[in-house]
């Protein structure tokens, strides 16, 4: 008899071999995802023919005609002004890597419901069946009239840098690669508070970043823009420095901006006397390297599920420890940033998200902690209801101040 196909999301008993049946164990993750995590919901009633005639024909024609005459009215009479496209090609999904567009959809759905839950922003997952830079850009540009913003997600480096840059050049709505900028915003907020806790400023600190992908590059540039004293970035081959001849264009630019101390060699070399370790790469940092850091150091080991430095090890040497995990204090979680950033940008119909808007978001996020600041509380919880309103207001104000707001 032919084997019966087993649905991996099922908790029922299914025959899966000629030798007999076994019971598929219940998995709450599959149970939650069955049928998807989101749906479209109407905001107006359609109870009778009068409702129908207003929501659809003939009433809708009046609105369409008005928008045709005054295109900016689309923001008032459609959902465009409060909806974001969450776009991926499935090439850098969480810690899973290049798993393709279909397999990325659960993550994109998750991102969309986080937009709604934490920022009140509607979002639509869009997984593209192409990894070609030009095709991705062309597709998003053609889709853009339906959206107030574009959140790029889980697109591998270095392509993600070009895609974001070119899309923002072509579109007059915000384009934001969350793997880069969301991570950078939350990292800056936590680092600012860690410095405050230990009586220092950003300018007093020398940081080392493990990982020169999208997040590592963005964090390095952003921290320097915010006033960090110095930062060295290490990839698999060691410190990104001017004397290396194997650098990509992105890393060559990074070498010009970072490593003012002129270090070369390994990550371990860079960590000697460093004030901050920021991990966005995975792997394991040897304990002696952590021990070699400066007194009152900070360890932000953000790889999931296994931090580059286990918190038990980090706490032996560091004044502040943060991870990307929810089961330890000080979680560096992008959900603290992107819902409020987009909510603020959409609120004022910003044309882009600037460095000033991102710094404003980081400052607002850090300020939420307030007088409760402590070694195990340098960044608020994603469930702190003060976070999204604070970030939204700060971003909207910064957009107006920088002249990118349209209302």
Average pLDDT for 3-32: 53
Is pLDDT of 5 > 80? Answer: no
**Catalytic pick from 111, 221, 251, 358?**
111
Q: Across the chain, what does the average pLDDT equal?
A: 93
Assess if residue 219 is contained within a domain: yes
Read off the pLDDT of residues 108-117 as tens digits, 9 standing for 90 and up. Answer: 999 999 999 9
Report yes or no on 292 lying in a domain. yes
Q: What is the pairing mode between strands 318-323 and 297-301?
A: parallel
Last residue of a domain, one of 146, 173, 200: 173
Q: How many domains does the chain have?
A: 2
Q: What are the pLDDT digits (tens) for 312-336? A: 999 999 999 999 999 999 999 999 9
Domain check: are 245 and 149 in the same one?
no
Q: What is the pTM of this model?
A: 0.90
- Cα three-residue angle 100-305-7, rounded to 5 degrees: 50
37 is catalytic: no
- Are 194 and 164 contained in the same domain? no
pLDDT in tens, 349-363: 999 999 999 999 999
Residue of 37, 49, 56, 251 with catalytic role: 56
Q: What is the pLDDT of residues 264-285, one digit of tens each?
A: 999 999 999 999 999 999 889 9
3-state class of 342 per DSSP?
helix
274 inside domain: yes
Which two three-digit tokens encode residue 299?
A: 């360890």
Q: What is the mean pLDDT of residues 53-80?
A: 97
Q: Is 134 exposed, middle or buried (0-12, 13-18, 19+ CB in 10 A)?
A: exposed
Regarding whether 186 and 167 lie in a shared domain, the answer is no
The burial class, CB within 10 Å (0-12 / 13-18 / 19+), for 390 is buried
Residue 253 inside a domain? The answer is yes
Range 87-104 average pLDDT: 94
Q: Are residues 209 and 112 in the same domain?
A: no
Query: Region 286-304: what's the mean pLDDT?
Result: 97
Tell me: do 371 and 395 sit in the same domain: yes
**Statement to judge: residues 190 and 267 lie in one domain:** yes
- Rounded mean pLDDT, 131-154: 98
DSSP bridge pairs for 331: 323
- Among 151, 173, 195, identify where a domain stops: 173
Q: Is 179 annotated as a binding residue?
A: yes
Residue 11 has pLDDT above 50, yes or no: no
347 and 236 share a domain?
Answer: yes
CATH number of 161's domain: 3.40.50.10380
Tell me the C-alpha distance between 123 and 85, whole Å. Answer: 6
CATH number, domain with residue 255: 3.40.50.720
Q: How far is CA 407 from CA 111, 227, 404, in A?
A: 27, 30, 9
394 and 365 assigned to the same domain = yes
Q: Is 367 annotated as a binding residue?
A: no
| 235 and 158 part of one domain | no
User: Does residue 15 sit within a domain?
Assistant: no
* Mean pLDDT for the stretch of residues 193-205: 98
Per-residue confidence (pLDDT) for residue 246, from 0 to 100:
93
Sequential DSSP letters for 183-198: HHHHHHHHHHHHHHHT
Confidence of residue 26 (pLDDT cuts 50, 70, 90): confident
**Farthest CA pair distance, the chain:** 74
Whether residue 244 is contained in a domain is answered as yes
Which residue range is the domain that position 143 belongs to?
Answer: 67-173
56 catalytic residue (yes or no): yes
Q: Are 202 and 192 in contact (CB under 8 A)?
A: yes
Same-domain pairing of 188 and 156: no
Same-domain check for residues 185 and 120: no
Q: Is 7 annotated as a binding residue?
A: no
**89 in a labelled binding site:** no
Question: Beta partners for 97?
Answer: 93
Query: What confidence category does residue 94 fall into, taking pLDDT thresholds of 50, 70 and 90?
Result: confident
Assess whether 106 and 228 both reside in one domain: no
For residue 193, say whether it is annotated as part of any ligand binding site.
no
Among 153, 173, 193, the domain-final residue is 173
Residue 390 maps to a domain: yes
394's tokens: 């700060």
Asked if 217 contacts 161 with a C-beta cutoff of 8 angstroms, the reply is yes
Q: Is 204 among the domain residues?
A: yes
Q: Which residues are registered as beta bridge partners of 61?
A: none
């Amino acid at each position: 008899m032919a084997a019966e196909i087993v649905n991996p999301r099922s908790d029922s008993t299914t025959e899966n071999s000629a030798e007999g049946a076994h019971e598929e164990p219940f998995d709450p993750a599959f149970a939650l995802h069955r049928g998807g995590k989101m749906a479209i919901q109407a905001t107006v009633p359609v109870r009778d023919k009068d409702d129908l005639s207003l929501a659809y024909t003939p009433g809708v024609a009046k609105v369409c005609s008005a928008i045709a005459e005054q295109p900016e009215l689309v923001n008032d009479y459609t959902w465009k002004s409060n909806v974001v496209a969450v776009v991926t090609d499935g090439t850098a999904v969480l810690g899973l890597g290049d798993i393709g567009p279909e397999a990325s959809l659960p993550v994109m759905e998750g991102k969309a419901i986080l937009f709604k839950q934490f920022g009140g922003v509607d979002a639509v997952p869009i997984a593209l069946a192409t990894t070609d830079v030009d095709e991705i850009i062309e597709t998003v540009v053609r889709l853009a009239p339906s959206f107030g913003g574009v959140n790029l997600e889980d697109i591998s480096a270095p392509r993600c840098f070009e895609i974001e840059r070119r899309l923002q050049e072509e579109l007059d709505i915000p384009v934001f690669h969350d793997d880069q900028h969301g991570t950078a915003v939350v990292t800056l907020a936590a680092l600012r508070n860690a410095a405050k806790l230990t009586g220092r400023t950003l300018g007093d600190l020398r940081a080392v970043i493990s990982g020169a992908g999208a997040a590592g590059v963005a964090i390095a540039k952003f921290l320097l823009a915010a006033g960090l004293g110095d930062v060295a970035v290490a990839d698999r081959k060691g410190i990104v420095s001017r004397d290396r001849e194997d650098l990509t264009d992105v890393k060559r630019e990074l070498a010009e901006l970072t490593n003012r101390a002129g270090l070369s060699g390994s990550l371990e070399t860079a960590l000697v006397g460093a004030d901050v370790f920021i991990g966005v790469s995975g792997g394991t940092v040897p304990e002696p390297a952590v021990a070699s850091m400066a007194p009152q150091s900070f360890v932000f080991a953000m790889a999931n599920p296994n931090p580059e430095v286990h918190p038990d090890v980090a706490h032996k040497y560091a004044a502040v420890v943060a991870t990307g995990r929810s089961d330890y204090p000080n979680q560096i979680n992008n959900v603290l940033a992107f819902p409020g950033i987009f909510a603020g940008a959409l609120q004022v119909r910003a044309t882009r998200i600037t460095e000033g808007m991102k710094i404003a978001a980081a400052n607002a996020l850090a300020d939420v902690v307030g007088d409760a600041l402590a070694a195990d509380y340098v960044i608020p919880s994603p469930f702190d209801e003060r976070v999204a309103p604070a970030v939204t207001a700060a971003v909207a104000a910064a957009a107006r101040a920088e002249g990118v707001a349209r209302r």
